[in-house]
Structure 1
Amino acid sequence: MTLDLFRSLLEGLGPSVVSVALCSARLLPVAFLCPLLGGQATPTRVKLTLVLTLALFLHQTAGVSLSTPVETPVQLAALTVKELSYGTALGLVAALPFDAARMGGRFIDLFRGTSAEASLPVTGTRESASGDALHQLLVGMVVTGGLMPLVLSGLVRGFGWVRLGAYVPSEGAAFHVVGLVGGALATGFAVGAPVAAATMTVDCLWGMVSRAAPQVNLQEMGAPVRILAGGALLWLGVGVLCDRLLASFLSVEDALFHLAEVAR
């Protein structure tokens, strides 16, 4: 292969390489933030392979490409930063229902007194048993219930809503993401509120009983009763909690669309 032929081959592949790189830059934060595309539990090599595969599919099959050619490395770096920032916003929005499930579980364990940092202080872990359980339960329901294409279609169609290089960082997009984060916090509190109210009620009744009968030592029994009462309520209301979390997940596609409207 001569030098001229090799140079012409590079010039022909240049726009495709740039388009694939920009698609990968947008999808990379989503793969690291959203558990449906990997999340924190998936090995990095698997996530990078998935991102590159999706980027090649979007460019070769869906025809996603950059409308204007890149002339300088500085322009390519600026476009990459823009796609990374927009991908971070997409990943945050797509992961909010799962984060709400984790926050609700931690809120529950905080009031029940069964958080990992309270029961295992030596390990230094910050995980919560109920938070991890609700998070994994929501992921399982989404994957097995056929709801996973909702987020994937929203991410893929997002390349048509906001084309490569068309993202404009704005105050409206930032406020939109902040509002969605606040909604996820409200969902997490709503998930944990019934168990928190039940444990506070148990504490109140236990305090009244201890005050009425001070000769009986009931302090050692307070924590087990609170843990059992909160666990029983969590077990009985897990269906309602799942419906609340699924309703939050079903709104992700609309949230991605509205984010694209304010970002272009």
Structure 2
Amino acid sequence: MDELLSNFPAFLLILVRVTSFFLMLPLFSYRTIPTTFKVGLGFFLSLVMFWGMDVPVLTIDTSYYFLILKEALVGLLIGFAAYMLFAAIQIAGGFIDFQMGFAIANVIDPQTGMQSPLTGQYLTIIAMFFLLASNGHHLLLDGIYYSYQFIPLEQPWINLGNGELAEFLIKTFSLMFMIAFQMSIPVVGSIFLVDVGLGIVARTVPQLNIFVVGVPIKIIAGLVVLFIVMGVLMSTVSHLFSSIVTTMRGIMNILGGAG
């Protein structure tokens, strides 16, 4: 405890980075998790990290407040990179819902408080269970722990000025849409073929009201294909988790000036 009191400024910086990281991180940032639990988890995780690393001796002066701002920005940026890629699951669900006709039936996601597509919410819940079952949340916590190897506590600056960070975030943004496209293309492509078939039927059998028949056929076809390719989707989600870890490491390299 004496060590904690003598190095309290360094512990406070660790706490700022960890809690800022939790503000953006998938699963840990959800509003259904009580705030007291988030603060307590951040505190005890910061305590474990404090005892597991060599912390510098810092004093609370003018430069110390800039270190606090730097730590908060580092935690937010690393968490934002992870959240951006995880949002690919919601985007893939939006693509699927648009083709199936569910785009008008968005629901309120209780975790984030925002509107969410039905299929996107379904896939997100399954991906979250898969993340917990495969200990992916441990990898996310490892990311914030090993971030101190790239961006030390006493480093007074982060690399924001040469455009590498903006370029990296743009590439991550494009990767998010690419992963969403890969996840949704089996269902979207199958429903497109159903649309083509319905168009041929509408031309050959004009007596049939294709607008009445087509909607339930597309929904049934979409659900059947989604059930068939669910294993492939979870394989893509596992690659998504690997991409999240790689992206977090890349943004740490850039912020630490080693990009």
TM beyond 0.5:
yes
DSSP-derived class of the 2:102 partner: coil
The aligned counterpart of 2:17 is 26
After superposing on structure 2, the runs of 4+ consecutive aligned residues of structure 1 that deviate more than 6 Å are none
Code of the residue aligned with 1:153 in structure 2: it is D
TM-score w.r.t. structure 1 length?
Answer: 0.83
DSSP-derived class of the 2:87 partner: helix
Equivalence map 1:159-174=2 (5 Å)? 159-166=148-155, 167-170=157-160, 171-174=163-166
Whole-Å Cα distance in 2 between the matches of residues 239 and 120 of structure 1?
Answer: 25
Task: Determine whether 1:114 maps to 2:102.
Answer: yes
Q: How far 1:155 moved relative to its partner? A: 1.9
Whole-Å Cα distance in 2 between the matches of residues 169 and 203 of structure 1?
Answer: 50
Which structure: greater helix fraction? 1
Max radius of gyration: which structure? 1
Task: Determine whether 1:245 maps to 2:231.
Answer: no
Q: How far 1:13 moved relative to its partner? A: 6.4
Unaligned runs of 5+ in 2: 108-112
The aligned counterpart of 1:203 is 195
Equivalence map 1:50-89=2 (5 Å)? 50-59=41-50, 61-65=51-55, 67=56, 69-72=58-61, 74-89=62-77
The aligned counterpart of 2:183 is 191
Q: CA 1:71–1:34 in structure 2 vs 1: closer, same or farther (change >3 Å)? A: closer
Q: CA 1:120–1:180 in structure 2 vs 1: closer, same or farther (change >3 Å)? A: closer
Assess if the C-alpha contact under 8 Å between 1:106 and 1:128 holds in 2: yes
TM-score w.r.t. structure 2 length?
Answer: 0.85
Count matched residues.
249
Q: CA 1:143–1:154 in structure 2 vs 1: closer, same or farther (change >3 Å)? A: same
Q: How far 1:226 moved relative to its partner? A: 1.0
Whole-Å Cα distance in 1 between the matches of residues 217 and 150 of structure 2?
Answer: 53
Q: How far 1:238 moved relative to its partner? A: 0.7
CA deviations 1:234-256 (Å, max 9, x no partner) are: 11001001101111212333322
Unaligned runs of 5+ in 1: 1-9
CA deviations 1:158-217 (Å, max 9, x no partner) are: 122211142513222332233222212210121112212222222222122112221222
Q: CA RMSD in A?
A: 2.7
The aligned counterpart of 1:158 is 147
Whole-Å Cα distance in 1 between the matches of residues 133 and 13 of structure 2?
Answer: 31
The aligned counterpart of 1:126 is 115
The aligned counterpart of 2:86 is 98
Whole-Å Cα distance in 2 between the matches of residues 226 and 165 of structure 1?
Answer: 58
Code of the residue aligned with 1:25 in structure 2: it is V
